[in-house]
Amino acid sequence: MRRRTIQCLAAAAAAGVLLALTAAPAGAAGSAYGDWSLSGPTGTLGFPVVGLPRATVTTDGTNPAVASGGSAFLNAATPFGAAYGGSQGHPYLTLRTAAGRGPSTTTLAFERPLAAGSWAFALGDIDADTVRITGTAADGSPLTPANLGFRGAFNYCAAAPLPSGCGGVQGDVPRWDGDSATLIGNGADTYGASGWFRPVKAVRDLTLVFSVQSGAPVGQLWVAAATASVTGRVTADGCAPPDHGTLLLRHPDGTPVTGADGEPVTAGAGEEGTYRFDGLAPDAYRVAVRVPGGYDAPVPVRAADATAGDAGGVDFALACHPVVLPEQPPVEVGSDLARTVDLPPALCGGTDLAVTRRPGHGTVRILDNCHVRYEPDEGWTGPDDFAVGGHTADGTLVTAAERVAVVQRPVLAATGTGGVATAAVAAGLALLLGAVAVRAVRRG
């Protein structure tokens, strides 16, 4: 390979982000490249993927560096790029020999084992050098060559768009020696000779021993991860679904999945009750539902198997529990086509208030923990009803039904000279006397 100038990054330590991802490679939905941060012989490898562990990076290679990925990259036509998207603009780690041109050792030690099939790595410019690969499985046993999941050799200079460093012989590819777990270059200094791997066993750590055959070669290491989504819907049996609710993502042992900020990963249910967690590491998860007052969840936790890709249909069916409350005297409303309704004392001051049944001929919204605001649809007169639920101060789940009567008041017509109605006077009287009354009667 040609020696080339390496642009070092001064980026801060990379970390995953919550749900919304900006680092996913273009053209490859469901994947993301790793981000490197290096200071001398140590650094970190992180992924913009929720639930994927970070790695500590150590190397005894000379002049270790992180390259920008602007001039040397894996385009989308390469096997690795077809699986994870082109790497242009994504950083990679350079591999060099140790002092005295002896073999160097670079180790990636993950915070917890990476699941089989959830990630892959590619070694680039392996021509006048070799890379022997070893590692440790999740159970502490050594990884076998077969566990490393060698997927094939290719040349990243063989198809457009070409990295700027490509030139000369472009068809060279390394060979994989499965007995010694070594990717071996052909000895001559060429361009773009590469191989890639997708481990088929969970990996706790990975070690690369980089050795020179001739010249002063520089190898390249890219790491990428697949991503998955978990989706579902929250419905209610016998009543409308809640207008808010929270879904919590957990590991199979029940512990919360956390984002880069260390906070638990959550999602909200939308208007149709749908929810989704995006940008997740392929793995087994559990989803728990936290519902507002007026509901309970007979099955509050569901398994979500995203080990092989997206997990859909992780649904929750909630139950509603209305409580009969004493009927209250009717409340007459002014003429503004809306009414602030006081909640019953049992609910006033409660928590997790939600509209558990929407009105059929109007809208209602929670104002505070003691009041709601009802507004009838334009032109509607007649009965309507809705329900509000929440937890009382002692934790009891209560739903209060509200019955509303929208009554149109007669508008007095004002007359001018000769008995002709004057529109301006009529409008003034309508505003003064009120056009609509709403009588609200609470019922259980």
Per-residue pLDDT at 380: 83
Digit-coded pLDDT (tens) for 233-286: 998 876 667 766 789 999 999 999 998 788 999 999 887 889 999 999 888 999
pLDDT grade, residue 442 (50/70/90)?
A: very low
**Range in 14-28, 90-104, 312-326, 353-367 the model is least confident about:** 14-28
Q: Which residues touch 91 (CB under 8 Å, ≥6 apart)?
A: 9, 11, 33, 35, 36, 66, 67, 68, 69
Q: What is the residue whose two structure tokens read 């007979």?
A: 298
Residue-range domains of the chain with CATH: 31-226 (2.60.120), 228-320 (2.60.40.10), 323-407 (2.60.40.10)
What does the pLDDT average to over 59-72?
Answer: 94
pLDDT the model gives residue 352: 77
Neighbours of 102 (CB within 10 A): 12
pLDDT mean across residues, the chain: 81
Which stretch of 85-99, 305-319, 395-409 has the lowest confidence by average pLDDT?
A: 395-409
Predicted pLDDT of residue 27: 32
Determine the pLDDT at residue 414. 43
Lowest-confidence pick of 216-225, 323-332, 374-383, 385-394: 323-332
Between 177 and 117, residue with greater pLDDT? 177
Long-range pairs, 407-412, Cβ under 8 A, ≥24: 407/381, 407/436, 407/437, 407/438, 407/439, 408/381, 408/435, 408/436, 409/335, 409/433, 409/434, 409/435, 409/436, 409/437, 411/435
Q: Is the peptide bond between 161 and the residue preceding it cis, with omega within 30 degrees of 0? A: yes
- What pLDDT sits at residue 239? 63
Structure tokens at 20: 């919304």
- The pTM (predicted TM-score) of the whole model is 0.64
Give the whole-angstrom CA distance, residue 16 versus residue 50. 6
What pLDDT, in 10s, does the model give residues 371-408? 888 888 888 888 888 888 877 765 566 777 888 787 76
Cβ 323 vs Cβ 239: under 8 Å: no
pLDDT band for 24, please (50, 70, 90 cuts).
very low
pLDDT band for position 295 (50/70/90)?
confident
